Amino acid sequence: MTANPYQASRYAADAAFMTFIAAVMAFLYVPIWVLIAFSFNSSRSLSWPPTGFTLDWYAKLATNDGLHAAIRNSFYVATGATILTLLIGVPAALAIHKFDFPGKTLFRRLILLPITLPGIVTGISMLNVSKLINVPLSLETVIAGHATALIGVVVTQVYARLQRLPGSLDEAALDLGAGPWRSFFDITLPNIRSAIISAGLLSFVLSFDEIPVTYFLTGRDNTLPMYIYSTLRRGITPEINAVGTIIVLISFVLICISVMGTKERDQK
Amino acid sequence: MATIIELDHISKQYGPDILGVDDISLNVEDGEFVTLLGPSGCGKSTLLRMIGGFEEPTGGCIRLAGEDVTFSPPYRRAVNMVFQDYALFPHMTVGDNVAYGLKLMGCSPREIDTRVFDALHLVGLYDKLKLYPHQLSGGQRQRIALARAIVRRPKVLLLDEPLSALDAKLREQMQTELKQLQEKVGITFIMVTHDQTEALVMSDRIVVMEKGRIAQEGTPQQLYDHPASRYVANFIGTTTFLPGVTESISDGTTRIAIGGGALDAVADIALPVGEAVTIGLRPEKVRLLEEGEASTNTLSGKICEVIYYGLGLRLGIELAGGARLYADKLLPDTLSRSHVPPLGQPVRLAVQPHNVFVFPGEVEA
């Protein structure tokens, strides 16, 4: 090896950098690994080291009807809220991008405002409104409540993508004989599709684990986070850890799907 | 030749006082290569976009092959555009990009295949059929944009600064290539550029624009040899401007006093004697006289600057009155020190009277 006076300090710098990265990763992921580990632990108490491997907690989940209902409700709410936000948010983003109308800037700000509002405020105000117009609380009111906050997410993401799309693409389509609708479906939509999908996935996840708004707006039905929250009053059980592990798994699969989806599109 | 595009008193007003295009009338003949030349903000792009249908004029009328298309949307005009950023659809292959306009025309798949093949062959990129735009180089993208626009066989092809995104070497090559392509397909080209070389090399006719109006139009040679104004002389080619005063006028020749000497000029305009004028001289038209060489229409001064630019030398020469002009001197095969005149050396210059441009008014700072 040739003697390089900078070699040693470079190794030191590299080592320091790697340590830092490892620390950040640990900070992010150690809690999740602990959760997963305890979900397979045969002992009921949450103490290290684990006493043995078991699938009992998962078996227990399989027979828990209350939990099943909560999961179904959560999927129903998250799906409904995602569809509703996309139906409102995507056209809103297109309108802001494409048209100049009086009060456009105000509209842009106002549509983003609900994201910054604390969930509690959204929850209480929506509760007031539903009492006022006499709509009974149900999972549907939860969907409406989630949608108000999530529209901002969808509009921001889709609008940002539209802004990065050169205006000349749409003009080129018109130039080549496409009417405005044809140009939208042939050119604009395929180019913002991945933004819509990722905004939809994000909305789904945010809605899925939302508590404050749900707390105020749900009727007798419970969503999964509400259910977990209520069981926690009896302390953390390995059962809850098992639910958590399943959620981590599902999220991981969703992330993989969305990454593969965008990747495939880029290569095509 | 038939007129394909008629611009009839076209104006585009943006605000109460902002005129993008100011009452322009222009006819373009079938098969012509016309260039709109001017600095940014002169209205050339706006004019092109109005022909393409992307903007509507606030006054006047646009006719395409006799038909009024002033307010027709872009998808109802037999006109296609090559965009400055090419605007290739990123999610489609090269083949799909080129085929897109044909699909919308309702061509049969068989016809689409043949025409896409022909268009891509024309630009020499048939092997790139299955690639995506981001896999191509800038020059290749430019060619695909061209193929996509001409595949529909438009009556007129519009080109918005088509070469501006290419590097200098490629730009030069594409200039001749584009010109040859235009001659081959026989489609009328209207190009917008701010690059005078591009305009000179490619165009049949150049329209120089200034502040929304036409400053001068004509063949490249007409504009180069007879610029109608200081603006055109300055924009096309290099011109040094000197202050002068008309001394005497006799049958078409005006004698003009310039700092310590005088030059004869073939003036296109009638001027009274004793009038302050601006003289325009192109460095390549000013000839350095050898010692003792006799010539008419000469000036004398001394060398105050020497610029080497490969092809030759550009010499800055200070006249007796203090004014400075430039003269080009081509170099012999081998450059030796003796060919480079020393600073301060007195020299004599000669200019043909028809190469002396005379513009009314004093030199602007």
Residue B282, in any domain of the structure: yes
Helix segments in A165-188, DSSP class H: 167-175, 180-183
Residue B365, in any domain of the structure: no
Q: Are residues B139 and B43 in the same domain?
A: yes
Report pLDDT for B222. Answer: 93
A→B contacts (Cβ < 8 Å), by residue, are 166, 168-169, 171-179, 182, 186-187, 190-191, 265, 268
Q: Which residues of B touch A187 (CB under 8 A)?
A: 89
CB–CB contact A176 B80 (8 Å): yes
Q: Are residues A67 and A35 in the same domain?
A: no
Q: Are residues A35 and A88 in the same domain?
A: no
Q: Are residues A106 and A13 in the same domain?
A: no
State the angle between helix axes of A65-98 and A139-164 in degrees (0 to 180), rounded to the nearest 10: 40
DSSP, residue by residue, B47-111? HHHHHHTSS--SEEEEEETTEE-TT--GGGSSEEEE-TT----TTS-HHHHHHHHHHHHT--HHH
Q: Are residues B337 and B253 in the same domain?
A: yes
pLDDT tens per residue across span B210-263: 999 999 999 999 999 999 999 999 999 889 999 988 888 887 788 898 877 888
CB–CB contact A175 B52 (8 Å): yes
Q: Are residues A189 and A97 in the same domain?
A: yes
Q: Are residues B199 and B296 in the same domain?
A: no
Q: Which residues of B touch A175 (CB under 8 A)?
A: 52-53, 74-75, 79-81, 149
Q: Can you tell me the distance from the alpha carbon of B277 to that of A198, in angstroms, rounded to the nearest whole number?
A: 68
Number of domains in chain B: 2
Q: Which residues of B touch A166 (CB under 8 A)?
A: 85, 87
Hey, what's the torsion of the CAs at A204, A208, A212, A216, to 10 degrees?
100
Q: Are residues B125 and B226 in the same domain?
A: yes
Domain boundary among B234, B254, B272: B234
Q: Are residues A22 and A102 in the same domain?
A: no
Q: Are residues B164 and B295 in the same domain?
A: no
DSSP, residue by residue, B109-170? HHHHHHHHHHHHHHTT-GGGTTS-GGGS-HHHHHHHHHHHHHTT--SEEEEESTTTTS-HHH
Q: Are residues A34 and A68 in the same domain?
A: no
Q: How confident is the model at residue A63 (pLDDT cuts 50, 70, 90)?
A: confident
Q: Can you tell me the distance from the alpha carbon of A29 to that of A63, in angstroms, rounded to the nearest whole number?
A: 30
Domain boundary among B191, B216, B234: B234
Print the domain residue range for A159: 57-267
Q: Which residues of A touch B84 (CB under 8 A)?
A: 168
Q: Is the pLDDT of residue A81 over 60?
A: yes
Q: Which residues of A touch B85 (CB under 8 A)?
A: 166, 168
| Strand duo B156-160 + B79-82: pairing | parallel
Report pLDDT for B365. Answer: 56
Structure tokens at B39: 């600095």
Query: Residue B176 maps to which CATH number?
Result: 3.40.50.300
CB < 8 Å from A in window 144-173 of B: 148-149, 152
Q: Can you tell me the distance from the alpha carbon of A148 to that of A134, in angstroms, rounded to the nearest whole number?
A: 19
Query: Residue B292 maps to which CATH number?
Result: 2.40.50.140
Whose tokens are 């969503």? That residue is: A223
Among residues B250, B284, B244, B252, which one has the least CA distance to residue B268? B252
Judge contact between B107 and A201, C-beta under 8 A.
no
Neighbours of B138 (CB within 10 A): 13
Nearest to B104 among A168, A177, A268 (CB): A177
Classified as helix, coil or strand, B253 is strand
Looking at A232-246, B124-138, B179-193, which range is the least confident one? Answer: A232-246
Q: Are residues B167 and B281 in the same domain?
A: no
Element (H, E) at B9: strand B3-13
Q: Is the pLDDT of residue A103 over 90?
A: no
Q: Are residues B218 and B253 in the same domain?
A: no
Q: Are residues B58 and B136 in the same domain?
A: yes
Residue A46, in any domain of the structure: no
- Please name the residue of chain A whose CA is at the shortest distance from the CA of residue B98: A176
**CB-neighbour burial class of residue B192 (10 A; exposed 0-12, middle 13-18, buried 19+):** buried
Domain boundary among B234, B264, B284: B234
Cα–Cα distance list, A113 to A101, A116, B24 (Å): 19, 6, 48
Judge contact between A85 and A158, C-beta under 8 A.
no
Q: Are residues A20 and A91 in the same domain?
A: no
Q: Are residues B54 and B156 in the same domain?
A: yes
Number of domains in chain A: 2
Q: Are residues B271 and B243 in the same domain?
A: yes
Looking at A83-92, A134-143, A178-187, B65-74, which range is the least confident one? Answer: A134-143
Residue A52, in any domain of the structure: no
Print the domain residue range for B100: 3-234
Q: Is the pLDDT of residue A265 over 60?
A: no
Q: Can you tell me the distance from the alpha carbon of A267 to that of B363, in angstroms, rounded to the nearest whole number?
A: 60
CB–CB contact B75 A171 (8 Å): no
Q: Can you tell me the distance from the alpha carbon of B356 to that of B280, in angstroms, rounded to the nearest whole number?
A: 6
Nearest to B54 among A171, A177, A190 (CB): A171
Q: Are residues B210 and B246 in the same domain?
A: no
CB–CB contact B85 A168 (8 Å): yes
Q: Are residues A64 and A177 in the same domain?
A: yes
Cα–Cα distance list, B182 to A152, B121, B158, B301 (Å): 50, 15, 12, 47
Rg for chain A, CA atoms, rounded: 24
Angle at CA of residue A98, ends A92 and A102, nearest 5°: 80
Report pLDDT for A268. Answer: 40
Q: Are residues B303 and B226 in the same domain?
A: no
pLDDT tens per residue across span B68-123: 999 999 999 999 999 999 999 999 999 999 999 999 999 999 999 999 999 999 88
